[in-house]
Amino acid sequence: MARRRNKILVPEARNGLDALKAKVANTGNPEDAKFEAAEEVGVPLKKGYNGKLTSEQAGKVGGRLGGSMVRELVKMAQESMAKKR
């Protein structure tokens, strides 16, 4: 099966999404976010090749980051809607 790549529909949003990723992972650098998330869920992620990780382990890292980002985006939207009332 071909690997899917997430393509940002609005390329100008890349910096904002990277900043959000760093924020939810409590890191200063979005590149370090996945390593912070992996450490939190106990997955032995390292820089470079990680082909020995199971799908479950990889999903824990991606799910942790993605889920936190979605929660934060929903929270931001709710706050924005409340201000408009």
Q: Is residue 18 predicted with pLDDT exceeding 80? A: yes
Residue 85 pLDDT class (50, 70, 90 cuts): confident
Read off the pLDDT band of 9 (50, 70, 90).
confident
Distance between CA 71 and CA 68 in Å, rounded?
5
Locate the domains of the chain by residue range: 14-84
Residue 41 — pLDDT band, cuts 50, 70, 90? very high
d(CA 23, CA 71): 12
pLDDT at 17: 92
Q: What are the C-alpha distances in Å from 23 to residues 20, 34, 48, 81?
A: 5, 12, 23, 22
pLDDT higher than 70, residue 4: no
